[in-house]
Amino acid sequence: MKDNAPLAAVVMGSESDLPIMRKTAEVLKEMGVSYEIKISSAHRTPDETALYAKSARDRGIEVIIAGAGMAAHLAGAIAANTTLPVIGVPIKSGELNGVDALYSTVQMPSGIPVATVAINGAANAAYLACSILSIKYPEIRAALDAKRAKTREILLEKSEADARWTDPEERA
């Protein structure tokens, strides 16, 4: 991975998406992946969003993560302007629990895919970005594998402890 130029771009349509999308940045940081954060809207700044997507690969970006809510067009608008892998995070906002954002993100037409994660799945968007980068950057693969192993270990330890509870009242 080149010095410190960002490999990943984290884009969101509005500052109000930051409390969710911050988790993407946190995981990328933990995994050692350099990234940039960008607020750019498919509907309010369409030209800038298109330009940002078009220029991303040449600027060294290798994966783009876009989070948006409601009629969530951001990930699709970016995917329409680059052949880089684009990950979409459907954000719950408005009244439909994020189902609107999920459908608007995942049901893309043939030729312009968006790699969609769970509603509000900002952390998983980062893990998916790391999986993608792992095919090229051994150190990201190593970080991912180490994280996976550690998560497993923690769960196994809990599980050992828990195997002894036969009485739910013993724990509160």
Interacting positions 91-150 with a second copy (CB under 8 A):
92, 94-100, 102-121, 123-125, 127-128, 130-136, 141, 144-145, 147-148
1 lines the binding site for a second copy (CB under 8 A): no
Locate 123 and state its tokens: 């952390």
C-alpha 131/C-alpha 136 separation (Å) is 10
Instruction: List the one residue from 6, 56, 65, 66 that touches a second copy (CB under 8 A).
Output: 6
2 lines the binding site for a second copy (CB under 8 A): no
Q: How far is the CB of 111 from a second copy (least distance, A)?
A: 6
Give the distance, in angstroms, between the CA of residue 89 and the centroid of all CA atoms in the same chain: 6
CB atoms within 10 A of CB 87: 29
Locate 95 and state its tokens: 């009244």
Torsion of CA 128, 36, 13, 71, to 10 degrees: -20
Contact 102, 80 (CB under 8 A): no
Site size for a second copy (CB under 8 A): 100
Q: According to DSSP H, which parts of the chain are helical? A: 18-30, 46-56, 74-79, 99-106, 122-134, 138-162
Q: Which is nearer to a second copy, 3 or 111 (CB)?
A: 111
Contact 108, 135 (CB under 8 A): no
Instruction: List the one residue from 55, 59, 138, 162 that touches a second copy (CB under 8 A).
Output: 162
Instruction: List the one residue from 55, 59, 139, 155 that touches a second copy (CB under 8 A).
Output: 155
Q: Which is nearer to a second copy, 3 or 167 (CB)?
A: 167
Contact track, a second copy, 30-59, x by CB under 8 A: ----xxxxxxxxxxxxxxx-x---------
Q: Which is nearer to a second copy, 3 or 169 (CB)?
A: 169
C-alpha 154/C-alpha 162 separation (Å) is 12
Contact track, a second copy, 58-97, x by CB under 8 A: ----xx-----xxx-x--xx-xxx-xxxxx----x-xxxx
Q: Which is nearer to a second copy, 3 or 163 (CB)?
A: 163
